[in-house]
Amino acid sequence: MQTSRIPGFYNMTVEQRRELLAKMESFTEEDTAYLFSKEALSTDTADNMIENVVGTFPLPLGLGLNFLINDKDFVVPMAIEEPSVVASASHIAKIVRNAGGFTTEATDRVMIGQIQVVGCQDFYIAKEAILHEKDNLINAVNAAYPSLVNRGGGAEDLDVRILNEEPGSKYSQMLVLHIYINTCDAMGANIINTMVESLAPTVEELTGGKVYLRILSNYPDRCLARARCVIPTDLLGSEEFSGEEVRDGVIHAYEFAASDPYRAVTHNKGIMNGIDPVVIATGNDWRAVEAGAHAHAARNGRYTSMTEWSKDDEGNLIGELELPMSVGTVGGSIRVHPISSIAHKLLNVDSAQELAQVIVAVGLAQNLGALKALATDGIQKGHMALHSRSVAIAAGATGEMIDVISQRLIQENEIRVGKAKELVEEYKK
């Protein structure tokens, strides 16, 4: 697929969309078979992925369209059960595309491995002993994963903190090593755990303490991705609202989230509505991304908005999002799950760094979609209309009945399961 602008994709049937996908150069017959089969993830593969398997749990896979990021087009696979997310992301991506697209950047993919040491006789001497051997420790930890170093990654820095120094602290005093490891295109959890575990005996020898935990941190604040968009107000208006009204509404909505944790949680959930589906579709660990994102939102000591919205001197709306983004294009279950392999083909990113940038751009788009709706029509108008089909199915509608019932629910402005059940009974008579 050369472009992510596919006018009318929304109105095509699933079959028509699949025909379009099957024409993609990189798409093999096997990909098509997997994506379109009823058992895309076989029970055998699933049984090799986790424990106590009894089946699989499919999710709808949709395509976020119109994404122009750093002048490159991306078709974004999104796995999610919630209606309106994919539509909203694509709608905002089209607006941003008309404003020149998203600009994004990412730091090097430097993750953190932590080693906890307790029981040192003198924590300050222990800290000095570690720092004195810093280069040797970095070399030693790299020796535990030579293939990563050969790829241009590996440990590149180390620091040490003493926790609970103050007398009378409720918790034990401890030394914590942070080893900064470039994991290249892998998320790197297993790689890091292997590396830091290998260092434990040397650390015990140097510090005279006992090592307990040796594991990555899910707050990789040196592995950040940033997205930005600049939107002129003439692209924001509608029949009912001027572009300036929409812009100001979005900024006020942001200021609410920036000032109030109760609102910030919901605001940020909306951002993760865009992020998680891409993380899931690409076979990445969404719990890790969620945990890191919320930690970043609280990095200044108070939980706040992940995004920032403002206006520039010309009155354009400016949106920015920075998040830690521990995702990979290899490793974990990425190449094990057949659909995530296909999702990577669709997305066509060159590296984990580029994947991280696409993900934050989708998060920023999703946030604007929610804020724009909230600051104008309210979220229910669009959302409930799209939700009406799920409500019809929940009430027992099948086949052609689903469309009929969902349309009636919208017309009668009563999108709830009780009403849908009445309509289903009526339809069956």
Q: Which residues bind ligand NDP (CB under 6 A)?
A: 147-148, 151, 183-191, 193, 216, 218, 285, 288, 328, 330-333
Task: Give which of 375, 263, 367, 280 is closest to 323, Cα–Cα.
Answer: 367
Q: What is the DSSP string of 143-171?
A: HT-HHHHHTT-EEEEEEEEEES-STT-SS
Nearer to ligand NDP, 123 or 219 (CB): 219
Active site residue 285: yes
Instruction: Provide, rounded to whole angstroms, the least separation between the CB of residue 51 and ligand NDP.
Output: 14
Closer Cβ to ligand NDP, 109 or 267, answer by number: 109
Q: Which residue type is seen at 404?
A: V
Least separation in angstroms between CB 190 and ligand NDP: 3
For CA atoms 238, 244, 247, 249, the dihedral sign is negative
Separation of alpha carbons 238 and 243, rounded Å: 7
17 versus 151: smaller Cβ distance to ligand NDP = 151
Distance CA 426, CA 409 (A): 13
The yes-or-no answer on residue 269 being catalytic is: yes
Lookup: tokens for 66: 């119109």
In the complex, which residue's CB is closest to ligand NDP?
332
Burial (CB < 10 A; 0-12, 13-18, 19+), residue 150, is exposed
327 or 370, CB closer to ligand NDP?
Answer: 327
Q: Which of 72, 73, 82, 204 is catalytic?
A: 82
Residues 6+ apart with CB under 8 A from 173: 118, 120, 123, 162, 163, 164, 165
For residues 224 and 373, which CB has a smaller minimum distance to ligand NDP in the complex? 224
Give min distance, CB of 189 to ligand NDP, in A: 3
CB of 331 to ligand NDP, least distance (A): 3
The catalytic residue among 294, 344, 383, 387 is 383
How is residue 350 written in tokens? Answer: 């060159």
The DSSP result for 365-378, as a single string, is HHHHHHHHHHHTT-
To ligand NDP, the closest distance from the beta carbon of 261 in angstroms equals: 25
Q: Which residue among 132, 252, 269, 381 is the active-site one?
A: 269
Task: Answer yes or no: 82 catalytic.
Answer: yes
Number of Cβ within 10 Å of residue 390's Cβ equals 17
Q: Which is nearer to ligand NDP, 37 or 147 (CB)?
A: 147
288/365 with CB nearer ligand NDP: 288
Closest CA to 247 of 237, 261, 260, 259: 237
Shorter beta-carbon distance to ligand NDP: residue 17 or 178: 178
Provide, rounded to whole angstroms, the least separation between the CB of residue 288 and ligand NDP. 4
- Decide if 66 contacts 229 (C-beta within 8 A): no
Cβ proximity of 214 and 192 under 8 Å: no
What CA dihedral angle connects 158, 164, 165 and 167, to 10 degrees? -170
User: Catalytic pick from 276, 285, 322, 354?
Assistant: 285
Asked whether the beta carbons of 196 and 214 are under 8 A apart, the reply is yes
Q: How far is the CB of 34 from ligand NDP (least distance, A)?
A: 20
Q: Which residues sit opposite 310 in a β-bridge?
A: 318
Phi, psi angles (nearest 5°) of residue 262:
-60, -40
What does the alpha-carbon distance between residue 339 and residue 49 come to, in Å, rounded to a whole number? 14
CA-to-CA distance for 110 and 157, rounded, in angstroms? 10
Active site residue 383: yes
Closest CA to 363 of 297, 419, 421, 283: 297
Q: Which residues are catalytic?
A: 82, 269, 285, 383
